[in-house]
A and B are shown apart, each in its own frame.
Chain A
Amino acid sequence: MNSYFNLNRWLLYIGKHWNENKKRYLMSLGAVGGLLVLWYSFVIIVDNRNPLVLQMQSVTYFVGLFLTGCLFASMQFNDLGDGPKGIAYLLLPASLFEKLLTALLFSVVLYFICYTAVYYLVDFIMVKVANGLMLAKYEETRSGNYAPNEIINVFVSPFSPVNLFYYVLIIYFSIQSIFLLGSVYFAKYSYIKTLIWGLIVFLVLVFWEHKIVDSFMPHGSFFKPFTVYKVLENGKELMIRLPEWISSILLFLMMYTLPPILWTVTYFRLKEKEV
């Protein structure tokens, strides 16, 4: 039997994981749905003219996804911070690769699908409610226009020619992978600790960009991150571009490689975990 991956064993492990956690997972989804209803109700109460415009729906979807998706990821390896649960987790005869794959399946794939489904369920109902209220108000006052809100498509941005939502989702999966790694690194309070460390690393990078990189680069600034640099000299602007193929590779690497790299780091961190 393969030491790293065996399909039957993995399916067995998924079954066990689901049965032990289904109550918690379903309750969490219910809570997320409840919070979305509460938030939308609050928005409808404070703005009864046109509350659920597309911007509000998209901000709600993405802020909710970032907050809850990262929280969910940061709880995936909670067991390792609890001695008895950690022992049960590490001694169960499945490979660490299968255990990590299960964590990824539930936190990255299934959570995203379920959150989106719950969001649309709530969004559909609340937009209908908001439109109903708007119509009632319009019929009551007969002033202004009645323009019912549509349901947002969270995968295609209606606000700009480039699909901004696609990039936001890419950023989400990258940040979520940081929280997943954090849940293996930090035995307790991993969400808060990862958040703090993430901010520290971000500030260090900002400092690096502004103080260190600026000190040896010519006077100017990045016009496009990492690929086009604008030099300001004697009031003239000069653009320095990386060749197209290099910038394409860099862009690809920045967009798509962070999650797999961090998942790999998570695997190795999991391997060296002791309880």
Chain B
Amino acid sequence: MIQIQNLHFGYRKKKIFTGLSLKLEPGHIYGLLGKNGTGKSTLLKNMAGLLFPKEGTVNVLGFNPAKRQPAFLRDLFMVPEEFYLPDMPIEYLIKYTAPFYPKFNEDQFNRYITEFDIPRSNSLQQMSYGQKKKVLISFGLACNTSVLLMDEPTNGLDIMSKSQFRKVIAGCVDENKCIVISTHQVKDLESLIDRVTIIDEGRILFDHTVDAITRKLSFHVSYDSDEIKKALYREPSLRGSAVITHNTNGDESKLDLELLYKAIVLNGKAIESVFNA
């Protein structure tokens, strides 16, 4: 569905990607994690055709995004970190923008904004940043595009809205959709994503499914000093130490995305060796 091969991209003085390759399949929610400035938004913009690769190819739904063909654009929706919605009532958004997306479903849209507690009668002008963002997310989801790109979607959302967001996203994924969510607030996506892709210094540092991660790694709190010592990654906590160990017993543990992220950034080789074994 999305194939990126040998992507080279940079801004005037700063190189961002030097040969990045990535393949994203439908039916998954991908979590694109990384520090600020590592190129998460740039990667999404390359996928959407807002930026053009200097070298390499980006193929989304069989299209070259840089051509911005209407057939491509109507099957892709992007929720950018900083977004724009015209100052008009929600009705107008449905009336004038939705017809560009042939799979748009108004009932679905109404369901999402009800879920997000947005009064349908309000004009976008009267809404707060968070409310506008929820309208845009609802609209993007109701467009039912094959590719949905979200850049820091939980920024600006309150605690309740974040959990509503997770619920809404979890309910809309199907085998034909590919949802890519870029964030540095890893906790927000923990229970949502089924594939973790971590970018650092313009390259893919880690790219595995949540299933594979929980099969190979164990996330738990340990009091055993031997185990703590041998752990792939450890972090002191109020009660014992939070550790990531090699899961050799086949026990199931709950993925701690924040811990995994820190482990990859600080001790990536040890973690990757478990997957390569």
Interface residues of chain A, those whose CB is within 8 Å of chain B, are 1, 3, 6, 9, 12, 15-16, 19-20, 82-88, 90-96, 271-272, 274-275
Contact = CB atoms under 8 A, between A and B. Distances in A.
Given A12-B100, A93-B101, A94-B100, A88 B73 contact: no
Given A6-B70, A20-B86, A93-B74, A87 B101 contact: no
A87 B78 contact: yes
Given A3-B71, A84-B84, A85-B84, A91 B96 contact: no
Interface string B90-116: 001000110111000000000000000
Interface of B: 45, 48-52, 68-71, 73-74, 76-78, 80, 82-86, 88, 92, 96-97, 99-101
Nearest to A8: B99
Contacts of B74: 93
Contacts, number: 69
Given A87-B84, A91-B48, 5 more contacts: A84-B82, A92-B73, A93-B73, A93-B100, A96-B68
Shortest Cβ-Cβ A-B pairs, 4 listed: A93-B73, A93-B74, A84-B84, A16-B96
Nearest to B86: A20
A94 B74 CA distance: 8
Highest count of chain A CB atoms <10 Å: which of B52, B68, B77: B68
A1 B92 CA distance: 25
B147 to A, nearest CB: 12
13 contacts: A3-B70, A9-B70, A15-B96, A16-B97, A84-B84, A85-B84, A87-B50, A88-B85, A90-B50, A91-B48, A93-B73, A272-B52, A275-B50
Contacts of A271: 68
A94 B96 contact: no
A3 B70 CA distance: 6
Contacts of A87: 50, 78, 80, 83-84
A274 B73 contact: no
Nearest to B72: A93
B73 A82 contact: no
A19 B50 contact: no
A12 B98 CA distance: 10
Contacts of B85: 88
Given A16-B97, A20-B88, A91 B52 contact: no
B77 to A, nearest CB: 8
Contacts of A272: 52
A3 B69 contact: yes
Contacts of B76: 91
Given A12-B100, A87-B50, A274-B51, A95 B83 contact: no
A93 B96 contact: no
Contacts of B101: 93
Contact of A93 (B51, B70, B92): B70
Given A3-B69, A12-B100, A274 B84 contact: no
